[in-house]
Structure 1
Amino acid sequence: MCEKSLSKNNDFNELKVILVGLGVIGKGVLKVINTKNNDLFKNYGFKISVVAACDSSGATVNENGINPLSIIKTKEETGKIVNHEFGVQKSILEVIETLDADVVIEVTPTNIETGEPAKSYTLKAFETKKHVVSANKGALAVAFAELMNSAEKNNVMFRYEASVGGAMPVINLARESLAGNSIKNIKGILNGTTNYILTKMEKEGLDFNTVLKEAQELGIAETNPHQDVSGLDTAAKMVILANTLLGKNYTIKDVKLEGITKITPEALKMANKSGTTIKLIGEVSNKKLEVCPKLVPIDHPMNVKGSLNVAMFDTDLAKDVVVVGRGAGDIETSSAILSDLIYIGNSKRCNN
C-alpha cells in the first residue's frame, strides 16, 4: 500500500460500485459494506458507495449512493430489487454500460457450462472502463483468457479472490505474500459440502446418500448437489488457480475428474486402519490437473474436518505453505470481495 493511499488530502474518497446479483452473497456484500464503511474511511481514506444494485427483477440506481440495508429490505419485502424512488427500467447490461461507476461487483449464480450471464456482464464492465470484483467461478473456468485479455486491453483491474476458497485467502496469498516464490504444486480441499459429507461418513459410519440428504436438510448441500459431489465445483476452482498462478490456459474440460459418490463407509474404515482418510483433493502442477478422492494421512495438515477448506502451496523458497478457512458463507465470502475492493480503492488513491 502506498503512503499516498492514507492521505486525507487526496481527491479520491469514494469508490462507486454497481452490485450485480442479490442472492446470498450479494446481500452479504451489502451488509459488509454497511458495517465496514466507517472503518474503510478511517483506515484507507475512502468509502464504498453503492450507486446501483441489479438482479433479474430489475435495478435500483442512484448516482449519489443508496443505503445498502434499504436494498436488502426492499428485496426481502417485495421480492424485487426495485423501489419506488430509485427503480429504473433498464437491463443489467444497460446499467453497467450507462452508469458512472468505478467497479462492478459480479455475484450472479455460477454457470460452469457457459459462464453466462456473468461473462457478458464482466466483458461489458471492461468495455466501459470499469474494474470488476467477482465471486463467480463459472465465467473464469470457461473463458479465463478472453476475460483477462479484455481487462488488459481496457486497462482495468480484475480481482476474483472470492471465486476460490470463499473467505480463505488463496489467490492473493500466492500473488502477494508469496511473491518471488515459484509455485511447483497446489493441492486443495476447496468444496465444503463434499468435505462435510466425507467427514460425517467417516465419523458416524453412514452411507453417502444418507449424509447427503442430511446435508441438504441443513442447507450445507444444494437441492441439486451435482456440481459439488461430482467434483465440478472443485475443478472450476483448480482451473482458476492453474491459470492465475501457473500461467496456464486451461478450461474446466481439461480437468481429470472423479467425484465422491462411489465412496463407502467401508472404504473410509479401511483407510482409517492404515492411518489415512479419504478426501476430495484438487491438484495442479505443470504436469497435472485433476480432482479426485485421495488418501490423506490422519495427521496431515490437509486433513481438515467438516465444511472447512484448505490449500497447500509447494514453493521453491517458502517450501510448503498451508492455509485453512471457511470456503463459503455470505459474510465470509464477502470478506474476500471487500479485500479486492480495498485493493482497487488503494490503487486509485495512489494514481490520483
Structure 2
Amino acid sequence: MRPLGVAITGFGNVGRHVAEMLELRRHGYRERFGVDVRITGVCGSAAGLVDSNGLSAKRLQERPAFTPGLSGDLFMSAVRADILIDAGPSDYRTGGASLTYLRAALRRHMHALVVSKGALVTDLRNLQHLAAANSVSLRFSGAAAAALPTVDLIEHNLAGTKVLAIEAVLTGTTNFILNEMLQGGLDIHEALRLAQEKGIAEPDPTFDIDGWDTASKLIIIANSALGMDLHLDSLPRQGIRSVSDIDVEQWRTRGVAPRLVGFVNRQTGPVRAGIELREYPQNHPFAGLQGSMKAIRVLTEEMGELTVLGGASSTPATAAAVLKDLDHVLSRITA
C-alpha cells in the first residue's frame, strides 16, 4: 500500500488534535483511498521530530524528546512528506514562520493545508499561484471559520453564480460574549472571563474582541472565493470592546440581537467591505446563534440567498476542518 507522509508545523492544541484524529481515521483512509497516511514529522518553533516510518499519536502524546533546532529550513530538509499541515501561530504583518513553511512545501510539490491565518492574509494570491505552478492543492478550511463552511460553500455549492453580498458572524468568541451579556446579564469583563475559562477566548483576547479575527477571516474568504484584494490595515473595522451595560439594555428594549459581522456588498455602486457591530430582529437567523456558533449569509444573483448556521468554535472542530481538506486532497491524489 502506498505510504503518504504528513508533516505538521506548529504542534500546539490544534496540531495535537489533528494528529490524534488522523490516527483514528488511518484505517478509513486505507479502505477508501488505498493509501497509508502517516505522520512523518512534527515541529514547533525551536524543536522537531521526524521519522519516515511514521510517528504514532500515542508516541506523540508521550511527548518524546524533540530534537532542538529541528525547525524551519532544517525541519523541511529533514522531513519526508507529501502533505504539510501548518497549524502554527499567525503573524499578520509578515506571515511569519508559517509563510516560510508554506512556500517551501509548495515548491517541493507538497499539498498544503492551512490553519494559520497570517500567511493567507499577507500573501494568499502568491501562495495560490505557487500551488498552481507546482500542481498541488492549497486548502484552508481551518483558517476560514473552520467548522463553518465558507470558501467551500461559495466555490463549490454556489459555483457559477454571481455573489452579490456576504454577511457573516465569523468569530465565535464575540458571539459568546455578546450572548452572555444580553441573555446572562454579565458585563463585558465577566463574559470575557467566562469565555476564557471555557477555552473559547485566548488569554489575550485582543484579536477577537477588537475585530481583527473577523477581519482576517473575511479577507481570506473574499480574496479567495471572490477574487478581491482586501487588506487588513485598510479594512474598516469595529469591535465589541466598548460595549456597555447601557448598550445591552437598549438592545433588550428594542428586542434585537447584536452580532459582530464581516460583510462584503457589491450589489450597486462601489464595493463595500468591513467589520461592523449590527443589530438583528429576533426573527433573523443570526439572532438565534447560541454559544460560540457562527453563521454566513450569501446573496447571489441566480440562486438568491443562502444562510448556513453552526460551526461553533472549538479545537476539535478546527482539527476536523483540516481533515475535511485532507479528504479532498486524498480524493485528488488517488483519482
TM-score above 0.5: yes
Counterparts of 1:280 and 1:64, CA distance in 2: 46
Q: TM-score, normalised by structure 2?
A: 0.93
Deviation at 1:299, TM superposition (A): 1.6
Letter in 2 for 1:37: R
Deviation at 1:217, TM superposition (A): 2.9
Structure 2 SS opposite 1:161: coil
Among 44, 47, 53, the residue aligned to 1:58: 47
Deviation at 1:345, TM superposition (A): 1.2
* Structure 2 residue 84 is matched with structure 1 residue 104: yes
Among 281, 299, 303, the residue aligned to 2:283: 299
Structure 1 residues 179 and 15: alpha-carbon distance in aligned structure 2, compared to 1, 3 A threshold: farther
Deviation at 1:70, TM superposition (A): 1.1
The 5 Å alignment of 1:134-283 reads 134-283=114-263
Counterparts of 1:318 and 1:269, CA distance in 2: 38
Instruction: Write out the 4+ residue segments of structure 1 that deviate beyond 6 Å after TM superposition.
Output: none
Range 63-72 or range 102-111, more displaced: 63-72
Counterparts of 1:324 and 1:43, CA distance in 2: 30
Structure 2 SS opposite 1:296: strand
Structure 1 SS opposite 2:186: coil
Q: Which residue of 2 aligns with 1:91?
A: 71
Deviation at 1:300, TM superposition (A): 0.8
Please say if residues 113 and 322 of structure 2, whose CA atoms lie closer than 8 Å, have aligned partners that are also in contact: yes
Structure 1 residues 316 and 119: alpha-carbon distance in aligned structure 2, compared to 1, 3 A threshold: same
* Structure 2 residue 306 is matched with structure 1 residue 324: no
Aligned length: 330
Deviation at 1:69, TM superposition (A): 2.5
What runs of 5+ residues in structure 1 fail to find an aligned partner? 1-11
Please say if residues 20 and 108 of structure 1, whose CA atoms lie closer than 8 Å, have aligned partners that are also in contact: yes
Counterparts of 1:338 and 1:232, CA distance in 2: 26
Counterparts of 2:27 and 2:203, CA distance in 1: 38
Deviation at 1:107, TM superposition (A): 0.2
Alpha-carbon displacement from aligned partner over 1:58-105 (angstroms, at most 9, x marks no partner): 121111211122112216xxxx5x2xxxx5853332222343321110
Please say if residues 293 and 311 of structure 2, whose CA atoms lie closer than 8 Å, have aligned partners that are also in contact: yes
Counterparts of 2:318 and 2:10, CA distance in 1: 14
Counterparts of 1:285 and 1:314, CA distance in 2: 9
Q: Which residue of 2 aligns with 1:3?
A: none
Counterparts of 1:142 and 1:273, CA distance in 2: 42
Letter in 2 for 1:316: E
Among 99, 106, 110, the residue aligned to 1:119: 99
Q: Which residue of 1 aligns with 2:318?
A: 333
Alpha-carbon displacement from aligned partner over 1:132-170 (angstroms, at most 9, x marks no partner): 100111111122222222222333210101101121222
Structure 2 SS opposite 1:149: helix
**Percent identity over the alignment?**
27
Letter in 2 for 1:325: G
Deviation at 1:233, TM superposition (A): 0.5
Letter in 2 for 1:301: P
Structure 1 residues 268 and 314: alpha-carbon distance in aligned structure 2, compared to 1, 3 A threshold: same
Deviation at 1:319, TM superposition (A): 1.7
Letter in 2 for 1:130: M
Structure 1 SS opposite 2:322: helix
Q: Which residue of 2 aligns with 1:44?
A: 33
Among 272, 279, 303, the residue aligned to 1:288: 272
Q: TM-score, normalised by structure 1?
A: 0.88
Please say if residues 43 and 70 of structure 2, whose CA atoms lie closer than 8 Å, have aligned partners that are also in contact: no
Please say if residues 15 and 345 of structure 1, whose CA atoms lie closer than 8 Å, have aligned partners that are also in contact: no
Q: Which residue of 2 aligns with 1:7?
A: none
Quote the RMSD (CA, aligned, Å).
1.8
Letter in 1 for 2:106: F
Letter in 1 for 2:256: T
Among 14, 22, 36, the residue aligned to 2:11: 22
Structure 2 SS opposite 1:133: strand
